[in-house]
Amino acid sequence: MSLHGTYDPDNIFAKIIRGEMPAVKVFEDDQVLAFMDVFPQARGHMLVISKTSKARNLLEAEAKTLGRLIGATQKAAAAVTAALKPDGVIVTQFNGAPAGQTVFHLHFHVIPRYEGEALGAHGKGMADVEELKALAEKITAAL
């Protein structure tokens, strides 16, 4: 998909928000949801999404939505850093398929980096759900 198009209310993140698909949640409020990525690039990889916006990408997002999302992304990065003690953390966001976007619902990635561990490929290799639950529990406890 390109940078321009119509929001698909049946995308996987919209289904997670509606409770139609499962997610290993880390935290949420009425505006945002942070949950574990089931195709993690590193141990502790999380996604932060808006629960209210129909923006497909950063270019379509409302300023208030971006403010809430970046605040929640900072909170997620701080929690994963406190809980898992990575050597670094990547915060990233993709816009359009050529840029690597695979789900067309605005979202940020919070990816812990560990010295000497290679970063996994984006969207490859599904994680063990029980491991994700254990990681989410640790991260949530650090909030």
Domain extents in the chain? 12-141
Strand-by-strand arrangement of the 32-36 sheet: 25-28, 32-36, 46-50, 107-113, 88-92
The C-alpha atoms of residue 66 and residue 73 are separated, in whole angstroms, by 10
DSSP bridge pairs for 27: 34
Select which of 4, 45, 105, 107 is catalytic: 107
Q: Where are the alpha helices (DSSP H) in the chain?
A: 12-17, 63-84, 129-141
Query: Taking the model in full, what pTM does it have?
Result: 0.95
* Per-residue tens of pLDDT for the chain, all 143 residues: 678 899 999 999 999 999 999 999 999 999 999 999 999 999 999 999 999 999 999 999 999 999 999 999 999 999 999 999 999 999 999 999 999 999 999 999 999 999 999 999 887 889 999 999 999 999 999 99
Tokens 């701080």 label which residue? Answer: 78
User: What is the CATH T-level fold of the domain 12-141, as seen in this structure?
Assistant: HIT family, subunit A (3.30.428)
- Predicted local confidence at residue 61, as pLDDT: 96
* pLDDT digits 0-9 by tens, 16-53: 999 999 999 999 999 999 999 999 999 999 999 999 99
107 as an active site residue: the answer is yes
